[in-house]
Structures are given as C-alpha cells and as structure tokens.
Structure 1
C-alpha cells in the first residue's frame, strides 16, 4: 500500500513547495509525489493534466491519496465528483490537508457510503463555486490595474502579501480556517487576514495594481 501526494498549482496559486510543506507539517509522509505546475482552468480536466493523468493510473486499492483539498482533483463539479468516485470505487482512501477530511473507499456500510458521497457532492460544488468566484475577483483586479496604465494615479498602500499568501488565505477562509491559524501559516498579521476576508476583490485589485 502506497501513500501518494498530488499537488496542482496555477501561475496565480500557491507554490508546489508550499503545498508539500503543508502536507508534511500535517504529519504526512509519501512514497510517491505527483505535481502539476501551471496547469489551471476550471474546464481543464484532471485527465488532461500530465501528472494528474499519471497519478490516476498509478493508484490501487489500499493506497492513500493526500491532497490539499478536493479542488486539487478538478475545478468543476463533474470532474471532481467523477475522479473521486472512480478512486473510491477502486478502494483508494482520499485525505485532505485542510480540515483533515478522510474519504474511505474501502467502506462497505451503505449508510457510511451515502453520507460520504453526499459530502463529496457538496464539497465538489463548493470547489467549482470558489474557483469561479476567484476568477471573477482576478478579472476585477486586472481591469482595475488597467485603469492605471499610462496615468499618474495613486496606487494606494503596497500589499503586505504576495499572490501565494493571498491564495492560502482565500482557500483557508473558504474552508473555515481561523484567522489565527492562517496568520501562523502565512506569516501575515491577523489584521491583514481580516482585510482580505472583508473584501477579497479589493485584495486582488491591490496586487494587480502593483503588478504582483
């Protein structure tokens, strides 16, 4: 039985190293690591990502798959639920770093399976909704930054965070993490975490305005 870690980042997301460090800090150790770097897009399936495709072909019954959250296995509802269902049917155990969720593909109890599958469906829908909201915020930030091009306008205070930190805060808040936990994880102050929480679009605009 193997323990596998799969990480995926886009150009505007966390770094691969950050995701792996989070997993190791949570006590996970791996026999094999698969990584897709710069592979993004809500409509891009896991099977179309090189490492994702290889990982899906590698896992067997009894193996454990560790991911930061289930949105690493797809960014739209159909892809996430399809991939998770396939892995669970093989008998693979899926573990998330955020919230410490465990989806046991070896269970045969019908009630446990029903609860598990309902939770997977809910979390998959949340993953797509969050991905779409993030894209909207990023587009708003880009449009805001364009307004400054060629014009001597006041940019405002330089952001105290980078894009990887913003992604961590965004995902953590979306999954119910407390500001104190996120401050410790990112090195940001709690007041910065709260400002991002209060207006995520403004946080994206600030990064875009400063060219980050």
Structure 2
C-alpha cells in the first residue's frame, strides 16, 4: 500500500523537526511516517550520505509520496537536489512540497511537459543553493562589520549558566552518562556533548559573555 512519508531536516539546535510535520499536516497532508536528519548541513552533505537520507532511499517505493517543506530540505546543493528528485521520479515516487504545493513525478511522457518540469526543478534547486550562499555571505559580513566597529565578537550566547556547566563537569567526572547528565542539569544532550568534548571552549563562551 502506498505511503506518504515526510522528510524533515534541521541544521541547527534552534530549529525543530516537529514544526515541519505540523506545517505539512496543516496543509492537508496525511503523513504515515517521518524520516529526519538533525544537525546536518544541506550544503556539504548529500542526501544519500545522511543517516535519514539513506533510510529514505531504502524506504521509498513506486507509488509512495515524499513530502518536504520545500526542496531546500532535500539539500542546498544544486547538483544534489536535481539528482535526488530525478532519481526518485525514475523510481515512480511522487515528490510534493508543502510550500507552493508543487508536485513532481515521472508520469508525463510529453517532451514539452518534461522540459517544463525539469526547468522548474532546476530553478528551485538553484534558488535553494543561492539562498544558502547569500545567508553564509551575510553572516560573514556581519562578523567582519562587528570586528571593524571594535565590538568584541562573542558568538551565540551560551544556553547554560556557569553553575550548570560546573554540574556537567562534576557528573561527567563521576561517570554519569550523557543522557542522565542532560536530565539532571536541564540541558540538551547536544549541549552536554559539546561541553564534554571541548570543556575549554564551553568555559570560554561563558567568559566572552561575562557569565
């Protein structure tokens, strides 16, 4: 029986996977399952090389529908996105986007319709890459501007206090696991892991913010 599978990807801790599912359901999609990648770049990592992406390639069958918020969830690299969509269409998988309600499949045999469809896919993939590059350049420009203005570039404000960090170090030294440390301190597993892997960097972040 054909299934409707949502693929969700978030690249930072500030984004949530649940939000993408909520948007899809609000748009009228009946989602059977969600396959996701978290903390993975859509620029440098191809879909087929991501953990969730591999599952997606293994899972999708002819007649299934793949739902994404927009094509940039598949990736932000032009070649990767166009290759991915064409590969799924060859498998007779239907790709649908929540934003703009676009539908791509391999059902048409008319060469003109195929050309229009392929041009639209190429345009959307190129737009996804261009947006990613523009965002990266804007971030770099902002950092440089702050430095030129004599401001101390501090980065993102830590999500933990000095007391919480000290508690993390204490629990880790006692052999307490990452998940248990996360529960006891109220911090995310990712935050605990970052502090565990690079204690000096975690301390320096607090110092930069005067915390």
Q: When the two structures are superposed, what TM-score results if normalisation uses the length of structure 1?
A: 0.66
1:27 matches 2:36:
no
Q: Deviations for 1:153-183, whole angstroms, at most 9, x for unmatched residues?
A: xxxxxxxxxxxxxxxxxxxxxxxxxxxxxxx
Counterpart contact for 1:62–1:106, Cα < 8 Å = no
- Tell me which residue corresponds to 1:89: 90
In structure 1, the partner of 2:17 is 16
Aligned-pair CA distance for 1:60: 0.9
- Runs of 4+ aligned structure 1 residues displaced above 4 Å come to 144-147
Aligned length: 152
| Residues 93 and 106 in structure 1, CA contact (< 8 A), matched pair in contact too | no
5+ unaligned residues in a row in structure 2: which ranges? 155-208
Q: What is the RMSD computed on CA atoms of the aligned residues?
A: 2.1
Q: Is the 8 A contact 1:69 1:96 kept in 2?
A: yes
Q: Which moved more, 1:15-24 or 1:83-92?
A: 15-24
Structure 1 pair 12/75, CA: closer, same or farther in 2 (3 Å)? farther
Shift, 1:104, TM fit: 2.0
* Distance in 1 (alpha carbons) for counterparts of 2:14 and 2:132: 11
1:10-65 alpha-carbon deviations (Å, 9 max, x no partner): 11763211111111111111112101111015121111210011112211111100
For residues 51 and 65 of structure 1, what CA distance do their matches in structure 2 show? 13
Partner of 2:58: 57
Q: Per the alignment, in what secondary structure is the counterpart of residue 105 of structure 1?
A: coil
Q: Structure 1 residue 148 and structure 2 residue 151: aligned?
A: yes
1:123 match: 124
- CA gap of 1:101–1:6, structure 2 versus 1, over 3 A, is same
Alignment of 1:120-199 (within 5 A): 120-145=121-146, 147-149=150-152
Calculate the TM-score normalised by the size of structure 2: 0.66
- Structure possessing the higher relative contact order (Cα contacts under 8 Å, 6 or more residues apart): 1
Q: Is the 8 A contact 1:5 1:30 kept in 2?
A: yes
Q: What is the CA deviation profile of residues 191-212 of structure 1, one whole-angstrom value per residue up to 9, with x for unaligned ones?
A: xxxxxxxxxxxxxxxxxxx9xx
